[in-house]
Chains A and B, each alone.
Chain A
Amino acid sequence: MLPLLTIIVFLPLLGAAITALLPKERADLPRLVSLVVSLVDLALVAWLVLRFDVAGGLQFVERANWIPEAGIQYFLGIDGISLPLLFLSALLLPISILVSWEVSERPGFYFTMILLLAVGMNGVFVALDFVLFYVFWEIVLVPMYFLIAIWGGSRREYAAIKFFLYTLFGSVFVLVGILALYLHPGGGTFDMTVLAASTGLPTSFQWWVFAAFFLGFAVKVPVFPFHTWLPDAHVEAPTAGSVLLAGILLKMGTYGFVRVSLPMLPDAAASWAGFVALLGVVSIVYGAAVAFAQTDLKKLVAYSSVSHMGFVMLGIAAGTPEGLNGAVALMFAHGVITGMLFLLVGMVHERTHTRTIAEVSGLSKQVPVAGGMLAFASFASLGLPGLAGFVGEFLSLVGAWRSELVAPGYAIVAAAGILLAAAYMLWMVQRVVLGTPSSAVEGITDLTRLEIGILIPLVVITVVMGVYWSSILRYVDPAVTALLASMGAV
């Protein structure tokens, strides 16, 4: 059988090499090459999704010795938790490339960076050896750093360095955790499946390792109070960077909790659950409140991400089937919906040259398609039932309520979060989408066919997932059940 996952992960690397070597004078070639690569990648992932056996556990496994002396393997595989995230990554890649179609500054380097980013994003979700996992985990930092630092806004250097150092600071703790597990006699391996299945780690040791992983993952998510790199990075990043940052990079943090912290350190996860849930709930409310006060569209969306990721954290902390299903569903939905929001904010910014909320109004009057899409994405984001965002938020809430690890008060505060989300989103819609066109909006043109084409898949997914939850949960639920069984929680 073809090494499907290897191809999916490293095809973008091949593409990156080609775009890097293309002659500088052919400025239109890099985007074409990267689009083809990304579409092939997406097709492969789609094929993989179709071939995926819902009840089959870990699949498409590829395993080989890499550095046998240190017990490091080349070990890839995919289950129902990583599958939706891999699909999301493969889906957002061509979208990011298409939205960057007109990049004029060093297009070769730009698309090389985008494709390199894809290698890390895809890799993190399929790696099952810790060293490999960490390599992919760190790879994403470099291209994202350059995307912000070169193609970013006016404070791009500050934002890029802050992003790089802050998340690197977190990564260090991830590495600490990995090595601690490796060096402990109860662990002694980099094989993530073995670590997840083993039960020999003393609780006190688990507690400290959990703390290390927590710091690393919490910065990436980001959870309050480790979130301040996010608004800066989002505001300065080009649209494609924001889409991939919010869509995929944040999910690496929560994926880490689900893939690493819970199964490998189940006792610590139980004793940390209250604290994780607390930070989750604080993130929900704090993110929503701060989002309300923002005057910049991108910052508003960035803080809304903090709030939504808080729901994911709450679901993870709950450690119940509902909570974990909800967490994974929300990771996926947030990627799609926030992707839409950033795309639309970018498209509006291109036309009005401003992201200041006070200067943009009456979009639906002047550009009905853009305004309508923005309103749609906003309602999806505030968790309207029937659209994708609701599935995860609702299940996280129910899961938290049901959990014995999380106080019911957290679920109640989180439920109030759905009101606060409606507040900042509607307040934005009221000022930006509705009303009469402002001077910045007057005379701008509506979305092009290409732009509509970029958004349509995301709109369709938002509706389908929101109406038919099984479209994603049929993959997630069996994997979550298996995960909880291995933790001895069910």
Chain B
Amino acid sequence: MAYVALIPLLPAIGFVVMAPLSRATRNRLQWLGLAGVGGSLVLSFAAFAAVWPGGHEGEAAYHASWPIAQVGGVDLSVGLLLDPVAAVMLLVVTVVGACVQVYSVGYMHRDERVGWYFAVLTLFTAAMLALVLADNFLMLYMAWEVMGLCSYLLIGFWHEQEVPRKASQKAFLTTRVGDVGFAIGLAVIYLTVGSFDFDAVLGSAASWAPGVATAVALLLLVGAIGKSAQAPLHVWLPDAMAAPTPASALIHAATMVAAGVYLIARSLPIFEASGVALTVTMAVGAASALLGGLLAAVQHDIKKVLAYSTISQLGYMFLAIGAGGAIAGMFHLVTHAFFKSLLFLGAGVIIHAAHTQDMREMGGLARHLPVTSVTFGAGALALAGIFPFSGFWSKDEILYAVWHNGHYFTFLVALAAAFVTAFYVARLWFRVFTGPVQTDHLAEGHAEMLAPMGVLAAITAVVGFTALGFSEFLGHAGYWPDPAMAIVSTLVAISGLAVGWWVYGRRHLVLNTRALKDRAGHAYTVLAQKYYFDVTYDHVIIRPYIRATESLSRFDRTVIDGVVNSAAVLWKTAAEVAWTFDGRVIDGLVNGTARAARASGGALRRIQAGRVQTYLRYVLGALVLLMLWIVVKGA
């Protein structure tokens, strides 16, 4: 089983080989990335087969660790733990990762820095695989941060333009706000347990002092909120859409943003020991699910629709775990990874074909992009939660878990979010694929772009049926959807789609929603302003901080350094006075005033010329006095 170590290592090696090459060589060797990820894909299937079935029984299929340091008698290590959760995540990451790599060959082939793009994409995959296999919190945190770097590099890939440049910085800093919480959480864990290992930490969580579990869980949650773009730290994800679209598919839809969910699922014993933290997780998830969904419904940029949709769907996962449906949340993570990456890849084809991201300038693409519309359609139906597509199954499980555990208000919020989701799916579909064509020379994507979409669409169509096996694989009793729940959720989804069609699907209303917006009034303004999050942060945090740094900088120059310079001047003056006294009075008694005046003048010149020796003499005098004082005082 030692090959498990190769799963993150192969892509890591790919990056290490590619990074130092010259641009031209790197561009030629871009296939190294795909080779690395492809190798991981094969090995991941092998690893999965080794765990399946019944992997949850007994020991983990593979567990090995290597110390990277010993600090005060405690081993800090990197270790790999292959258990059912990890095995599932390996498949998700490598399948989507490989699909995105293949797709990118077609999507990015004209870019002059394509080699660097593939290198970073590959490093990202390595980090995500390391995160999934990590057997301790420290390694998980390190991989987490490396993913953040890759995200930064890919968002800002086209950094000559200002928008991506700013978006990349915003993403890194916003997620780092969460990471501060994560880091403090690690410190608390270490103080409490004396180790970062999952075994030791999670095994003992139930016996921690009350309050400690809550503190740790909430701190980890802060990290997860940043990474998974949940309210109120969600603001970076819509801007992150400045990244090349396939990178958005992998990082900002399928995998990295789901790492927050994964973290919470991994640390579930801590959250359960706390209880309060679960409720907070549920509230954060519910708020993000609904607020994100509403924002998705007013976006015009197709990628931003999908970005807000991601916030909303990740909220669904948070909500599920918080409500006690961790398995359902993880299943939604899996299904969402496939159908959302599919939607992003489809959006990439659409953007290439329509030469715009603005849905108001699109229309009638269905006839010209047959493959894209079929595959995209599968993803869209999965997102809306229509049987038999994957989203239906996982969303149903979540709704059932929330209802079953008695969180009725959350259940209503989740239903509302499901309705909004179906609505914006219909809005997107009818605006983009139906209606009058607005672009000349519409062309379907390259084969290397369409093939991965086909794979993902096929998975989206069938993966839902594994719901039962998925639960059992992770060690829980599985169940088929509750018929009543299935009917309710399907009705909600269909009514959402229907309303979407009513507004956007009937030809004569397309492109003219002014009347609706006017009627919505303030509510629409609030949505258009994204609930004022960005504006508030800008006015309350960013600008005041910049102003504060500028005043501190002035303070540093004038006050702190001012004291130093004044002390120097004072010292010099004192020295002059002393010298004058020396010359005028003492010396004068002996030699007469005239000669003394000349001497002091020369001395003054010497001091003012900055003669170091002059100062030294006085420093020495002060030194002797001080020393005597301390010795006397101490003795």
Contact with A along B268-283 (1 / 0, CB 8 A): 0000000000000000
Q: Are B634 and A325 in contact (CB under 8 A)?
A: no
Chain A CB within 8 A of B526 CB: no
Q: Decide if A104 is an interface residue (CB 8 Å cutoff).
A: no
- A245-292 contacts to B, CB under 8 A, are 286, 289-290, 292
Q: Quick one: which of B67, B160, B631 contacts A365, CB cutoff 8 A?
A: B160
- Asked if A434 is at the interface of the complex by the 8 Å CB criterion, the answer is yes
| Residues from chain A with Cβ under 8 Å of B166 in the complex | 430
In contact, B70 and A474 (Cβ under 8 angstroms): yes
Which of these binds chain A: B424-432, B549-557, B574-582?
B549-557
B448 vs chain A, min Cβ distance (A): 28
CB of A175 within 8 A of chain B?
yes
Cβ of A208: which chain B residues have Cβ within 8 Å of it?
Answer: 630, 633-634
Contact A290 B556 (CB under 8 A): yes
For residue B72, which residue of chain A has the nearest CB? Answer: A321
Closest residue of chain B to A322, judged by CB? B71
A320 to B563, CA, bound (A): 35
Chain A proximity of B2: nearest CB distance (Å): 19
Residues of A within 8 A of B71 (CB): 321-322, 325, 395, 473, 477
| A-B contact number at CB 8 A | 183
- B72–A418 touching, CB < 8 Å: no
Asked whether any CB of chain B lies closer than 8 Å to the CB of A106, the reply is no
Stretch at the interface among B187-195, B229-237, B371-379, B453-461: B187-195
Stretch in contact with the other chain, from B92-100, B490-498, B501-509, B615-623? B615-623
Task: List 4 extra interface pairs beyond A168-B615, A386-B145, A426-B152, CB under 8 A.
Answer: A164-B612, A173-B626, A292-B549, A470-B67
Select A184's contact among B159, B172, B546, B631, beta carbons within 8 Å.
B631
Interface residues in A163-203 by Cβ distance below 8 A to B read: 164-166, 168-169, 172-173, 175-176, 179-180, 183-185, 202
A384/B187 in contact, CB under 8 A: no
* B634, closest chain A residue (CB): A205
B552:A286 contact, CB within 8 angstroms:
yes
B630–A209 CB distance below 8 A: yes
The residues in A between 42 and 70 inclusive whose CB is less than 8 angstroms from any CB of B are none
Taking the complex as formed, is B521 at the interface, i.e. its CB lies under 8 A from any CB of chain A? Answer: no
Whether the pair B630, A386 counts as a contact (CB closer than 8 A) is no
A289 contacts across to B, CB distance below 8 A? 545, 548-549, 552-553
**Complex: how many Å from CA A436 to CA B160?**
5
Within the complex, what minimum Cβ distance (angstroms) separates A180 from chain B?
5
> Is B183 a contact partner of A415 (Cβ separation < 8 A)?
yes
Determine if A435 and B549 form an interchain contact, defined as CB atoms under 8 angstroms apart: no
Q: Flag whether B212 is at the interface (Cβ < 8 A).
A: no
Residue of A325, A412, A415, A418 most packed against chain B (CB within 10 A): A415
User: A-contacting residues of B (Cβ < 8 Å)?
Assistant: 23, 67-73, 76, 141-142, 145-146, 149, 152, 156, 159-160, 162, 165-166, 168-169, 172-173, 176-177, 179-180, 183-184, 186-188, 190-191, 545-546, 548-550, 552-553, 556, 560-561, 563-564, 568, 610, 612, 615-616, 619, 622-623, 626-627, 630-631, 633-635
Asked if A411 is an interface residue, CB under 8 A from chain B, the answer is: yes
**A398 proximal to B (CB < 8 A):** yes
Cα–Cα distance between A470 and B612 once the two chains are bound (Å): 45
Q: Beyond A412-B184, A419-B180, is A385–B145 a contact (Cβ under 8 Å)?
A: yes
- Please indicate which of the listed interface residues A225, A398, A411, A427 has the most CB atoms of chain B within 10 Å of its own CB: A398
Most chain A beta-carbon neighbours within 10 Å: one of B23, B188, B612: B612
Q: Is the CB of B634 within 8 A of A204?
A: yes
C-alpha gap A325/B556 in the complex (Å): 31
Known: A294-B553, A401-B188. A175 touches B68 (CB 8 A): no
Are A379 and B564 within 8 A (Cβ)? no
Checking A165, A173, A320, A473 against B69 with a beta-carbon cut-off of 8 angstroms, the contacting residue is A473
A161 to B166, CA, bound (A): 42
- Inside 8 A of A175's CB, which chain B residues have their CB? 623, 627
Contact of B142 among A164, A386, A422 (CB under 8 A): A386
Q: Enumerate chain B residues within 8 angstroms of A486, measured Cβ to Cβ.
A: none
A32 at the interface (CB under 8 A from B): no
Complex CA distance for A467 and B142, rounded to whole angstroms = 10
Residue A212 at the chain B interface, CB threshold 8 Å = yes
Interface pair B160/A435, CB less than 8 Å apart: yes
A136 touches B (CB below 8 Å): no
What is the distance, in angstroms, from A178's C-beta to the closest C-beta of chain B? 10
- Contact status B183-A397, CB under 8 Å: yes
**Most chain B beta-carbon contacts within 10 A, residue among A184, A228, A229, A411:** A228
Verify A468–B156 contact, CB threshold 8 A: no
Q: Is the Cβ of B187 less than 8 Å from the Cβ of A411? A: yes
Residues of B within 8 A of A202 (CB): 634
| Interface contact A426-B186, CB-CB below 8 Å | no
Contact of A172 among B165, B173, B179, B619 (CB under 8 A): B619
Q: How far is the CA of A321 from the CA of B560 in the complex (A)?
A: 34
- Enumerate chain A residues within 8 angstroms of B568, measured Cβ to Cβ: 162, 165
Q: Confirm or deny: A359 has a beta carbon within 8 angstroms of a beta carbon on chain B.
A: no
| A325-B71, A411-B187 as given contacts; A426 in contact with B169, CB under 8 Å | yes
Taking the closest CB of chain B, its distance from the CB of A412, in whole angstroms, is 6
Query: Could you jot down 18 A-B contacts, CB within 8 Å?
Result: A172-B622, A176-B623, A176-B630, A228-B564, A290-B552, A292-B545, A321-B73, A322-B72, A325-B71, A390-B142, A397-B184, A419-B179, A422-B176, A426-B152, A427-B169, A430-B165, A435-B160, A481-B72
Q: How far is the CB of A194 from chain B (nearest CB, A)?
A: 18
Contact among B145, B183, B619, B626 with A384 in the assembled complex (CB-CB below 8 Å): B145
Q: How far is the CB of B148 from chain A (nearest CB, A)?
A: 8
Q: Is A355 an interface residue (CB 8 A)?
A: no
Specify the chain A residue showing the minimal Cβ separation from B188.
A401
Query: Are B173 and A423 in contact (CB-based, < 8 A)?
Result: yes
The answer to whether A422 and B184 touch across the interface, beta carbons within 8 angstroms, is: no
Q: Cβ of A153 < 8 Å from any Cβ of B? A: no
Which chain A residues border B169 with CB–CB below 8 Å? 426-427, 430
Asked whether A480 is an interface residue with its Cβ less than 8 Å from the other chain, the reply is yes
Q: Does B561 contact A398, Cβ atoms closer than 8 Å? A: no
Which chain B positions have C-beta within 8 A of A468? Answer: 68
A442 at the interface (CB under 8 A from B): no
Query: For residue A229, which residues in chain B have a CB less than 8 angstroms away from its CB?
Result: 564
B549 touches which of A293, A395, A470 (Cβ 8 Å): A293
A-B pairs, 7 with minimum CB distance? A321-B72, A205-B634, A469-B69, A385-B142, A401-B187, A293-B553, A434-B159
A364 CB-CB contact with B under 8 Å: yes
- A423, B610: Cα distance in complex, Å: 40
A165 touches B146 (CB 8 A): no
CB of A402 within 8 Å of the partner chain = yes
B residues in contact with A474, CB < 8 Å:
69-70
A172 to B617, CA, bound (A): 12
Asked whether A397 lies within 8 Å of B564 as measured between CB atoms, the reply is no
Question: Per-residue 0/1 for A435-476: is the Cβ within 8 Å of any B Cβ (1 yes, 0 no)?
Answer: 110000000000000000000000000000001111001100
Render A388-410 as a binary contact track against B, CB cut-off 8 A, 1 for contact: 00110011011001100000000
Does A358 belong to the interface (CB within 8 Å)? no
Q: Are A398's CB and B187's CB within 8 A?
A: yes
Give the residue among B67, B72, B145, B156 with the most A Cβ atoms within 10 A: B72
- Chain B: minimal CB distance from A42 (Å): 24
Q: Is the CB of A364 within 8 A of B184?
A: no
How many Å lie between the Cα of A208 and that of B561 in the bound state? 26
Q: Are B73 and A481 in contact (CB under 8 A)?
A: yes
Whether, in the assembled complex, A21 has its beta carbon less than 8 Å from a beta carbon of chain B, the answer is no
Cα distance A290–B554 in the bound complex, in angstroms:
9
Q: Could you say which residues of chain B place their CB within 8 Å of the CB of A364?
A: 159
Residues of B within 8 A of A204 (CB): 634
Q: How far is the CA of A164 from the CA of B612 in the complex (A)?
A: 9
Contacts of A145 in B (CB 8 A): 612
Residues of B contacting A422 in the complex (Cβ-Cβ under 8 angstroms): 172-173, 176
